[in-house]
Chain A
């Protein structure tokens, strides 16, 4: 009896293995693998993250999602490498460059220099620099930039309409990073615009982190700073600066009656702790921007220089009931004016 059982088991195992092998064969024919990069067979997309991880609930994650979406619609292959030390930017880009990847997406302002340098080394590779203004004439570099001041302006305008204490704050990352400064200044401009429209004075205070390595990764600082603002009666707080900003909005969520505004991507799902206060996010449509550029690179329609992606406010989600229809309408009207350029934010680029 035992023998029989053994035979059956062996037969089953063999059949299973065969099945596995067959399925492996069939997938290999469809999807390209990394080994095919640099040949006609595959369209390869590499993402190099900035300091931080690919699931950072922010930039890196959005860029990666964009690359995945781009890979799906081009039938390509996408892979990422996480940067743990800013000295490794060039090394990490080379990981993809040396394997003959078609598109390399580098994430974050801080990698701009390394991206341009790598573009000269790999002239056949298209480089997409997320959040990097490209001031060079390199033929294979496209900076994906956003008008952060516009997104910030919309957030500020909404905040100005929501505040009851007429005190609005912001907890931001490093001011030396242009997108952060533009978010902050746009936010203040939006608040000022709302104040003028409502005919009242609103105090706006934007606090930037004390720089260094941890400017975007210091949630404890963000939380304490948000507490300081809340304690002094500020009732709408904008958190913009990676985990630092997330720390701030998480803290706001622990205070009843205060609103918080997220940044970069719709943070409703990515920072669930903030849901009690998260009225919206000043969003850069990063996923769409990266997807579009990857597809353009495949088509060959990608242009060197800079590509301005879309910005806007995210959905109100569960807090829609806290925002009156009148305010929602006003915000939509201003959004149209800001996006079309009819209304300028007045923030210098």
Chain B
């Protein structure tokens, strides 16, 4: 089964590469531009999906991603203004993400509450707080501007697509790759997955289930803070109510589409980003007129298709959503 997925993945990769090469030969500039913009569409979704992966791999369902993004982007914006420093804004936003996560962990690990309700609480809390304290008419002192990486940014195609972004985008890539490596190639990753799949075995082997869950959910929160900061301090530069526009929910779909694997979710987010940038390009060129709604439903349709095709093969971590009671089997 694993070889099948791997083979499928390589087909997907091959098809994308060939299509890209063809487009690149047709119009190098536009292809580069579309891919480069696709990365900016994809990164916030990919990071939000990482929040979901970190939580679910360790057995906690987090539907409060949207709330985490909303509150941390809000904090990033106003703290950066108050402190006149985007770096401080970014750091405090990460701390806010961690705080949101710890609240989730408190409710779902310590109090053993229903995790869907716990996540909903995060969303309501963030919407309420940000709506209430929102003051319009403030401006950021600065932003994370584009900083091409010397050398790498001169590469044809990849230089423009991957290495001409701002600092937070680069951090995002590093986080995703680190997570992938960490989850599948380190003892910590093995323990994390064990806690998410079969906590009682992990417990027997001497892994503290609740500590593992607390730590991982906190890391997820920090990633959520990074995502919120990227949106406000690097991508947009302003904040408004409902700023995150449902990205935290799209991310849940991408997490499933990416089979709870950081690389898979990144690929899924990239696929979605390409669909959006590609649809924009079609409208820019004015050649084909596809309804924009079509693009909007893509991640959800893809998720349904993936789940339908691979029913039984793709499954969430076995213990997700269940509070762990010591001594249960």
Contact = CB atoms under 8 A, between A and B. Distances in A.
Interface of A: 52-53, 55-57, 169, 175, 205-214, 217-225, 227-229, 231-232, 243, 246-247, 250-251, 253-254, 269-273
B139 interface: yes
Nearest to A228: B37
Nearest to A272: B139
Contacts of A272: 137, 139
A53 B238 contact: no
B280 A207 contact: yes
A227 to B, nearest CB: 6
A273 B244 CA distance: 18
Contacts of A269: 137
B246 A214 contact: yes
A169 B242 CA distance: 26
B284 A228 contact: yes
Given A208-B292, A224-B41, A53 B245 contact: no
Contacts of A273: 139-140, 237-238
Nearest to A223: B236
A213 B241 contact: no
B245 A224 contact: no
B34 A228 contact: yes
B283 A207 contact: yes
A271 B238 contact: yes
B124 to A, nearest CB: 11
A273 B143 CA distance: 12
B237 A251 contact: yes
Given A52-B241, A217-B242, A231 B33 contact: yes
Contact of A55 (B40, B44, B136): B136
Given A208-B283, A232-B29, 7 more contacts: A57-B240, A206-B283, A207-B280, A211-B296, A213-B246, A220-B44, A220-B235
Contacts of A225: 37, 280
Most chain B beta-carbon contacts within 10 A, residue among A53, A56, A210, A270: A210
9 contacts: A206-B283, A219-B236, A219-B243, A222-B236, A225-B37, A231-B37, A232-B33, A254-B145, A270-B136
Interface string B1-45: 000000000000000000000000000011001101100110010
B279 interface: yes
Given A232-B30, A273-B139, A219 B280 contact: no
Contact of B284 (A205, A227, A246, A271): A205
A210 B143 contact: no
A220 B236 contact: yes
A16 to B, nearest CB: 31
B272 to A, nearest CB: 11
A207 B281 CA distance: 9
B23 to A, nearest CB: 14
Q: Which 5 A-B pairs have CB atoms at the shortest separation, nearest pair first?
A: A210-B296, A214-B245, A210-B292, A218-B245, A205-B284
B115 interface: no
B94 interface: no
Contacts of A271: 238
Contacts of B286: 205
Contacts of A55: 134, 136
B293 interface: yes
A219 B245 CA distance: 8
A243 B241 CA distance: 9
A219 B240 contact: yes
B37 A210 contact: no
A109 B273 CA distance: 30
B154 interface: no
Contacts of A169: 284
Nearest to A273: B238
Interface in B182-207: none
A218 B139 CA distance: 18
B70 to A, nearest CB: 12
Given A218-B245, A221-B245, A224-B40, A210 B295 contact: yes
Contacts of B247: 220
B61 interface: no
A10 B30 CA distance: 78
A247 B33 contact: no
B276 interface: yes
Interface string B220-236: 00000000000100011
Interface string B242-265: 111111000000000000000000
B276 A221 contact: yes
Contacts of B276: 210, 221, 224
Nearest to B247: A220
Given A210-B293, A211-B296, A220 B245 contact: yes
B131 interface: yes
A232 to B, nearest CB: 5
B279 A210 contact: yes
A219 B238 contact: yes
Interface in B28-68: 29-30, 33-34, 36-37, 40-41, 44
B92 interface: no
B256 to A, nearest CB: 19
Contact of B293 (A212, A231, A243, A250): A212
B293 A211 contact: yes
B241 A53 contact: yes
A105 B295 CA distance: 35
A205 B279 CA distance: 13
A206 B280 CA distance: 9
Contact of B238 (A52, A56, A228, A250): A250
A53 B280 contact: no
Nearest to A82: B131
Contacts of A214: 242, 245-246
Contacts of A247: 236, 238
Nearest to B296: A210
Contacts of B277: 224, 228
Contact of A175 (B235, B279, B292): B292
Contacts of B140: 273
Contacts of A206: 283
Contacts of B293: 210-212
